[in-house]
Amino acid sequence: MASVEQLKILRNGVNNWNQWRENNPQVPIDLSQANLSNENLTGVNLSVADLIGANLVGTNLMAANLSDADLSEANLKKADLSAANLTAVKLSAANLSFAKLNEANLNEANLYSATLREANLSEANLHFTDCCETDFSRAKLFRADLSAADFSRAKLFRGDLSRAKFFQAKLVETDLSEADLSKAKLIQADLWNSNLNRAILYKTDFSNSDLKGTDFIEAKLIESNLWKANLFDANFTKANLSNANLGNVCANSANFKGAILTGACIEDWKIDEETNLNQVICDYIYLNLIFKPKEGKLIYQERRPYDVNRSFIKGEFSRLFQLNSKTVELFFDKGVDWKAFLITFEKLKIHYQSEDIFIHSFENQQEAGFIIRLNVPAPYDKIEFKEFLKNQYQLEMELETNNEQLVNLMEITKYLADSNLNPALSGNMMDNYMRPSIKPSSIPSEKKQSLTSGEIRENNITLTGEETEFPTKSRENFQTLTEEETESPTKNRENFQTFNEEETESPTQIRENFQTLTGEETESPTQIRENFQTLNNTSEENPTEINFSTANISKTDILKNRLINNIDDEEKKTLLAEIIGENSEQPKNNTIYKITNLNSIITGKINELLFTNGNISPKLGELLGLIKQTINLEDMTNKNRLEAFEQLLPLVEAANNRDNELMKKPAKTAILALKGIAISLPSATNLIKACNKILPQVEILLKL
């Protein structure tokens, strides 16, 4: 029971009471069960007071100090606690219906099972507050800070939580149905199994939140941000997600039946065969987004359908994006051999005699590996399909490796056959090649032959009846035979570098496109490299280029060096180097040779487009020229560069033959493969950005 003496002091006025408290700080305050209804206690000091079961109906407690006080089961209906200090106060099972708590400090307060129906907590501080099973129905929490508070199983039905902050708050199994959370911040909040049916969630931020099993039936999530949210088993039936950000969400088993997704962004969203996209209403979708710090907003990119004048027809979105039980995932933990994969992919379609087999999506899991998803049409068995593809891919990689080794051996044999080398010496070298572990140094000196170049020539005269020419003379005769000058090693390298520099310098149209792509003025051809750095936000002075003079050594070069190094005599070694060294024709299986050849072919076809009459062909030439330029300048291995050029070629050919429907199918596959190559290379940031910006335009112009 309340202390009669303390009640008497309190009723003599707040000033007298506060003075008495100051003079008697050690005296415990017992006002339990006290009737203080409709009293004016503005600014009163009731900290650490016992007010259990007290009647404070309609009491004015504005700016009062109730920190650490115990008001459990107290009746504060219609009480005014505006700006009051309620830090760590105990209000469990208390009645605060219609109470005013705006701007009150309820940090670490205990409101377990309390009733705050239609209470006003606008701009109140509820940091770390225990609100489990508390009734906030129709309460006003406008701009309230509820960070790290626990609202598990609480009722916030039709509450006004607009612009409220729920950072890392816990709202497990909470009733938020029909609540207004417009522009509220629920970042990293835990809302699993909560009820947000018919809630107003305009521009609400759910980024990185756990929304597992949460109901959003008929909720209005227009322009809401669900970036990286966990939507596993969430229910969005008939919800309006127009222009929402669904980037990187995990939507496995989520239900979007009848939901509106027009204008939403689904960049890298994760869905599975249990995700329901039936009857989704969607005119268009975006697959990419960027953040502009200066403007403070997200910009959606990569619209689908590409044509801004076209919308998805009924059911088209579901058909394109629905993963069903016949979708298989192929995991590559050591990267993708794109040449082997594309050959396998074509053989797969031939084997199953189906054109409905297509690449559904890619996913780069960085260090973990690379995933390619394929659509498997009925009635094919998913396990058998995956096993066939896996075995065929492995076979293609082995065949590719064996073919390279065979071609390398044939090239070496050709060098030796075409040269004027002593047959006996050729036999020794081939023997050394076949047994590379035997080094010349291991052969006893008495068994070594030491022949001068003159002796080698004389031996050849004896064996063949013809005079063997000096290397210099051989080169001159070769020039006469072919009517072409065989250039020195230094000249060869200079030509390669000259070719590379010519490709780096773009025409005015390409340079203008770079300006459009990067948003910066390009003053000269040499600044194209700087624009690529701007696109990638790097400050490197010189981006990585193809340097043919310092490129990776091919297997043929390794074999040539092994043949030369296996000869002990320096003069013989010099002679062999002259015959099969840098002056000889580049082997056609050499990666650099292939890159050079493809680069030349593609450049020629792009130039044809640039100088074709009309608008579409020159535009395609400019766009494909940018892709080619990016591949040339990108930081990647020559093997990856070759794969990229091999996929660019079908696009260039389709661009030069736009009326040929047969070329569109390889072009579509090439676009997917080119994107896959870019995504699989973490360092290829320029190529990734160029693919994202340019390939959609190419698809539109080619009507793919």
Cα 647 to Cα 623: distance, rounded to the nearest angstrom: 15
Cα 652 to Cα 628: distance, rounded to the nearest angstrom: 10
List Cα–Cα distances, 124 to 53, 81, 376, in angstroms.
24, 11, 55
Average the pLDDT over each of 49-58, 112-121, 325-334, 406-415 and give the range with the smallest value: 406-415
Query: Can you give the three-state secondary structure of 633-654, one letter per residue?
Result: HCCCCHHHHHHHHHHHHHHHHH
Cα 427 to Cα 459: distance, rounded to the nearest angstrom: 15
- In 3D, which of 223, 270, 266 has the Cα closest to residue 244? 223
pLDDT of residue 364: 66
Angle at 539 between CA 534 and CA 543, to 5 degrees: 80
- Compute how many other C-beta atoms are within 10 angstroms of the C-beta atom of residue 52: 18
pLDDT of residue 563: 52
Average pLDDT over residues 382-393: 78
Cα end-to-end distance, the chain, whole Å: 83
- Record the tokens describing residue 218, joined without a space: 């008929």
Query: Can you give the three-state secondary structure of 151-196, one letter per residue?
Result: CCCCECCCCECCCCECCCCECCCCECCCCECCCCECCCCECCCCEC
pLDDT of residue 421: 45
Looking at the chain, the whole-number percentage of residues with pLDDT higher than 70 is: 69
593-606 pLDDT per residue, tens: 788 888 888 988 88
Prediction pTM value: 0.53
pLDDT of residue 588: 46
pLDDT of residue 533: 43
pLDDT at 428 over 50: no
For the beta sheet containing 358-364, the strands, ordered from the edge strand earlier in sequence to the opposite edge, are 327-332, 370-375, 358-364
pLDDT of residue 414: 59
Instruction: Identify which has the larger pLDDT, 699 or 242.
Output: 242
429-449 pLDDT per residue, tens: 444 444 343 333 333 443 334
Cα 107 to Cα 128: distance, rounded to the nearest angstrom: 6
Average the pLDDT over each of 259-263, 337-341, 412-416, 644-648 and give the range with the smallest value: 412-416
- For the residues of 72-124, what is the DSSP string, one character each? TT-B-TT-B-TT-B-TT-B-TT-B-TT-B-TT-B-TT-B-TT-B-TT-B-TT-
Mean pLDDT comparison of 6-15, 79-88, 353-362, 368-377, highest-scoring range: 79-88
pLDDT at 71 over 80: yes
Cα 594 to Cα 600: distance, rounded to the nearest angstrom: 10
pLDDT of residue 155: 97
pLDDT of residue 193: 96
Q: pLDDT band at 240, cuts 50/70/90?
A: very high
Mean pLDDT comparison of 159-168, 479-488, 674-683, highest-scoring range: 159-168
- Record the tokens describing residue 424, joined without a space: 């006996």
Cα 589 to Cα 579: distance, rounded to the nearest angstrom: 19
Specify which residues 373 forms β-bridges with: 329, 361
123-145 pLDDT per residue, tens: 999 999 999 999 999 999 999 99
Average the pLDDT over each of 26-30, 252-256, 478-482 and give the range with the smallest value: 478-482
566 by DSSP, 3-state: which? coil
pLDDT of residue 470: 42
- Record the tokens describing residue 48, joined without a space: 């650490």
Average the pLDDT over each of 170-179, 338-347, 490-499 and give the range with the smallest value: 490-499
Cα 696 to Cα 704: distance, rounded to the nearest angstrom: 10
pLDDT at 541 over 50: no
Q: pLDDT band at 379, cuts 50/70/90?
A: low
Strand blocks (E) in 10-60: none
282-336 pLDDT per residue, tens: 999 998 888 777 777 788 988 888 788 889 988 888 877 776 546 677 777 777 7
Specify which residues 361 forms β-bridges with: 373
- Record the tokens describing residue 324, joined without a space: 């069903």
pLDDT at 380 over 80: no
512: left (phi over 0), alpha (psi -120 to 50) or beta: alpha
pLDDT at 569 over 60: no
pLDDT at 358 over 60: yes
pLDDT at 475 over 50: no
Cα 146 to Cα 168: distance, rounded to the nearest angstrom: 9
pLDDT of residue 106: 97
Instruction: Identify which has the larger pLDDT, 361 or 447.
Output: 361
83-129 pLDDT per residue, tens: 999 999 999 999 999 999 999 999 999 999 999 999 999 999 999 99
Instruction: Identify which has the larger pLDDT, 241 or 660.
Output: 241
Cα dihedral value 172, 177, 179, 181, nearest 10: 50
pLDDT of residue 34: 94
pLDDT at 668 over 80: yes
| Residue 165 main-chain phi, psi, to 5 deg | -110, 120
